[in-house]
Chains A and B, each alone.
Chain A
Amino acid sequence: MIYTQKHPALFLMGAFMVITGALTQFGLMDSVINFLSIKKYVSEIISLSYIFGGISCVVGFWNLVGKHKKGHLDYYLSTVAGVIFILMISMGIRWFVAPFVAVLSKSMGTVMGDKYLHEVLGLNYIVLGILTGIIIVNFFKIPAWAENGVRLSRLGLKTGVILLGTLYSLAELQQLGSLSILMVGTFVLGSVGIVLWMGIRLNIPNSMAGVLSAGMGVCGVSATVASAPVVQAKSVEIAYTIGTILLWGVGCMFLFPIVGNILGLGYVQFGAWAGTGILNSAQVAGAALAYQPDGIETLKVAEIFNITRVLVLPIIVVWLAIWYVKREENAPDVNIMRVAFEKFPIFVIGFLLMFALSSTGMFAPAKHYKGKYFDNNISAEKLLTEQELTILKSEQNKVQQATRKETISRLIENQKIMSIADDDTVRGLVNANILSSEANGILKKAHKSVRHTAKKINKFRQFITWLFAFGLVGLGMQITFSSIKQAGGQPLIIGGVVGTIKATLSLIIVILFVHETI
């Protein structure tokens, strides 16, 4: 069988990309770029358009004029057209569609704390990518020349999950409180157990129950993707899980702050509750900021609880591998070691290896979290100027809280932020809007001077973003309406029930055992 199709699409897509890159480089897209506020993407638009446009033109030309024979070259080169097809859609979503949705949403004003509608609903490139894929496959059909390349989308997702390991470091995770580890561990494992049990009771496919349990237990796209191959989950089941998590999170973002206020929860209590009960990282942050708009104490605690889940991911994958084999093969006495060895996805080991490499400090200082780290050994020109210090001194008396007062005094004395704790206090002070915008600007400058982002981690983040965008558009292209209908509404019910149980129980635990210090 010869896979390559003599079709001009790849060459034309390449030409289109090169033209887009050139238009951007020579400033002909400036009005669009300004309207969408996407200046940060300009260098990416130019470089990626040229690179992939060039590749497409060369391979597209070969597809048209070359003599193709059955074999490896034909097989693997025939995937390029599909890969570029998905990539071009991903580029459109990331650079233009998602920013346009953000512009529309921002024009409606904030809906919750300082959050806009698209942030609350999680309408980012991930969701928009899956939706676009679904629309293409159901309304337009995937072109024949692209079909082989669509089968590479899962490889993109797996590579993205492995690279996710670079965003974490052991030093950061070691700082987690024992309570957060115990609480998150219990609730993650408990949620997985309940979803699996309910899945059996409601007779949903094992693959659906398995992937949903990882999604509801651990959270987010990465856990869902990591567990999917272990339970042989279908594309529609992965999408269903992501949809359930996001829907649940939207409700939680509104409800959690209301309940927290009614019960008078402290910042640490609320942070612990949101970090345990809400599944999606962005939505955890949204709820925490909505609860405490004038500080970041709640957000810090919520983030700590949220990242603790990463630790549990490998355990869940092994559990699901064994559970799935037992259920599918109807063999209750399976050899656990054998199953763990045979079924454990190697790419999850890759995630752990990347995490280990990242912890050695080879990509960023070992204590980083998602590439960000504190370092106040800054050059003289980054210190606050005499003029800026005068402004801060003149507004110092507006600050009432003792900790904040001391922090400002230290800042004025040293012309820079002296510790991570002081940095957190400064961020809280900015959020509180107590000082004038001019003074807040100075505080932001002081914060930026001591908080650094590792360039290598930033590059990894860029790779991860593109791999996920590519993988999820491709995943969407494998979801037909009939398969959605086939999946039914039961996963949503299970997700809702388990989410409610988790939120309620974690609230009780928080009220009983969590106090203002961890």
Chain B
Amino acid sequence: MSKENKPVTAKPKFNRGTTLTIFKNDRYEDIIALTLSFLIALGVYFFVD
């Protein structure tokens, strides 16, 4: 984590993830975003007409 990525509050509050994400790293967050968007796409494809 970059030194300048200061948390929202002064002292660190989270022992999991980083100050910018609840996930352990960026790539993990990307995979979650990918999964979420494909679930939305499937939902739209099957349920919207």
Contacts and interface: CB of A to CB of B under 8 A. Distances in A.
Given A163-B40, A166-B41, A455-B48, A151 B14 contact: yes
A148 B14 contact: yes
Interface string A465-496: 00000000000011010010010000000000
Majority SS of interface residues in chain B? loop
Interface in A123-179: 137, 142, 147-148, 150-152, 154-155, 158-159, 162-163, 166
B33 A158 contact: yes
Contact of B22 (A151, A205, A478): A151
Interface in A444-466: 455-456, 459-460, 463
A20 interface: no
A25 interface: no
Interface string A333-361: 00000000000011101100010010000
Contacts of A354: 37, 41
A363 B22 CA distance: 32
A455 B47 CA distance: 11
B45 A155 contact: no
Contact of B2 (A151, A234, A463): A234
B26 A229 contact: yes
B45 A350 contact: no
Contacts of A159: 33, 36-37, 40
A163 B22 contact: no
A450 to B, nearest CB: 21
A227 B15 CA distance: 27
Given A455-B48, A478-B20, A350 B29 contact: no
A480 B26 CA distance: 23
Q: Which label, helix, strand, loop or mixed, suits the secondary structure of the A interface?
A: helix
Given A154-B20, A162-B34, A350-B33, A459 B44 contact: yes
A362 B42 CA distance: 11
Given A350-B37, A459-B44, A155 B29 contact: yes
A362 B45 contact: yes
Interface in B1-49: 2, 4-6, 8-9, 13-23, 26-27, 29-34, 36-38, 40-41, 44-45, 48-49
A81 to B, nearest CB: 13
A150 B8 contact: yes
Contact of B44 (A147, A151, A345, A456): A456
Nearest to B4: A234
Q: How large is the interface on A (under 10, 10 to 19, 20 to 34, 35 or more residues)?
A: 35 or more
Nearest to B18: A151
Contacts of A162: 33-34, 37
B6 to A, nearest CB: 7
Q: Which of A76, A155, A459, A463 has the most CB of B within 10 A?
A: A155
Nearest to A156: B33
B20 A151 contact: yes
A100 interface: no
A142 B19 CA distance: 14
B33 A147 contact: no
B29 A363 contact: no
Nearest to B37: A162
Given A147-B9, A159-B36, A346-B34, A357 B41 contact: yes
Nearest to B47: A459
A477 B20 CA distance: 11
A128 to B, nearest CB: 21
B14 A347 contact: no
A148 B22 contact: yes
Contacts of B45: 362-363, 456
Given A347-B30, A455-B48, A459-B48, A478 B36 contact: no
Contacts of A483: 6
Nearest to B29: A155
A4 interface: no
Interface in A18-32: none
Interface of A: 1, 75-76, 79, 137, 142, 147-148, 150-152, 154-155, 158-159, 162-163, 166, 205, 207, 229, 232, 234-235, 345-347, 349-350, 354, 357, 362-363, 455-456, 459-460, 463, 477-478, 480, 483, 486
9 contacts: A159-B33, A163-B41, A232-B5, A234-B2, A350-B33, A350-B34, A354-B41, A362-B45, A460-B44
Given A151-B18, A158-B29, 5 more contacts: A152-B22, A155-B23, A162-B33, A235-B20, A363-B44
Query: Nearest 4 A-B pairs (CB), nearest first?
Result: A158-B33, A346-B30, A162-B37, A350-B34
